[in-house]
Structure 1
Amino acid sequence: MKRLIAGVDEAGCGPLAGPVVVAAVILHPRRRIDGLDDSKKLSAARREALYPLIVRRALAWRIEFVHVDEIDAINILQARLTGMRRALCALAPAATHARIDGNRLPTGLPCQAEAIVGGDGVEPAIMAASILAKVARDRAMVELHSQFPQYGFDQHKGYPSPHHLAALREHGPCPHHRRSFSPVQQQLLFA
């Protein structure tokens, strides 16, 4: 049987608002994608340019959103691991092996897996997954900005920037803020 290696990465563990987004990608061995790198090292324009190439040329790909209510219910680490498991389980064709960015592996995976610290800087399939996850999350945050412009989600993407923290103090949390995160909890106490 041919070995199908999926790269898995997530975006959005640190923000105070919005989903955690996880992507899994199996690259096609004969459809090369030039310019892959850790999504954090690429400009937004470069990530947007690579996104459709990855989608078109990958053998398989999947993006999973873990929303705020689930993050608050199970904690951010479990949300990340849950998203990784869902993304891998949904790949078609299925992966025979997974390389996951970070130092923790989810339980209940459909294939063998290895955790690779800094994998988004060394493994092309993880790089591709990091780009899909980051672009999908950034697009979701821009959409949230259209509903809640007072927070500036289109600029800071939910991360705890000074502007975001000031908006949180002024307006209190919206339904997409993570109530289990300390800065949001503090605002709920003073509301």
Structure 2
Amino acid sequence: MVAPIHLTGQLHVTDEFLQDLSKLSLDVERRPLQIGVDEAGRGPLLGSVHVAAAILPTTWSGLIEMQPLKDTPLSILTDSKQLSEKKRDMLYPIVQQHAVGYVVAEIPAAVIDQVNILQATMLGMRLCTEELLVVVAEHVARATNAVSCPIQAQILFDGNRCPELDCKRLAASKITQSAIDCQAWVKGDARHTSIAAASILAKVSRDQTMYDLDSQYPQYGIAKHKGYPTRAHIEAIESYGVLSEHRRSFAPVRRALENT
């Protein structure tokens, strides 16, 4: 790739989680571990697209309408777009604290320009999912002295398509294709708690990068438009030029470069 892709995350595999996992593996219905995946920043002209994958505690995972988060620290969690920025910022550290594990991928503008925004988003979703699956599977295998991976995972992607996972990489951690159920959910961030958690991680982490860019380039008004193609943003590009962080494959930026 032409620019580095950054992955960050944490894992909190507790004894309680391991006990829950053991119970699930013995369950006749084989209820799977749920991993929610969402993105933020597909539409902007500026900056990276952020993708997050998150695992919530077993009892907190499920359909939002079934209220698995009632009386938990994440009781107000839903689609990040339905929450104010203040509430998203409040939830962000709480999701990080209480998630069993999460990974956030930052796919920079240069990669977006190289492979297009759809493929960059799919790449981020694949990397987040694989990284989280591998780390959790290996940790659980060590903790349980299992010869094979005991995890049955349900990967819930927000949107209308799923990325193609690297089966060889997963197999190296003894995760078989049959153990993974990938599902695409349109508006899934308003349906599943794990996708909603991922949406908070992706959205707030991306906003933080926008505020960082705003401090570097205050004349562009980035803190207000977050890189989206507002009139003020287009006028700033016309007045001050295209930044290295702009997505050159996006039409307004491409036209600005052609006119210089």
Question: Taking structure 2 as the reference length, what is the TM-score of the superposition?
Answer: 0.71
Once the two structures are superposed, the pairs formed by residues 1-191 of structure 1 within 5 Å of their partners are: 1=25, 3-30=32-59, 32=72, 33-91=74-132, 92-94=135-137, 96-108=153-165, 110=170, 111-191=180-260
Is the deviation greater in 11-20 or in 108-117?
A: 108-117
In structure 1, how many angstroms separate the alpha carbons of the residues matched to 2:115 and 2:220? 25
Distance 1:37 1:5 in 2: 16
SS in 2 for 1:155: helix
Structure-1 separation of matches of 2:78 and 2:224: 22
Shift of 1:3: 2.3
| Counterpart for residue 10 of structure 2 | none
Q: SS where residue 105 of structure 2 aligns?
A: strand
Structure 1's unaligned 5+ residue stretches are: none
- Of structures 1 and 2, the larger Rg is shown by 2
- The list of structure 1 runs, each at least 4 consecutive aligned residues, that deviate by more than 6 angstroms after superposition, is none
- The offset of 1:30, in angstroms, is 4.4
Contact 2:130 2:165 survives alignment (8 Å): no
Aligned length: 191
Percent identity, aligned pairs only, is: 44
1:152 CA drift (Å) = 1.1
* Cα drift, residue 72 of structure 1: 0.2
Q: Which moved more, 1:22-31 or 1:38-47?
A: 22-31
Contact 2:36 2:198 in 1 (8 A): yes
Shift of 1:104: 1.1
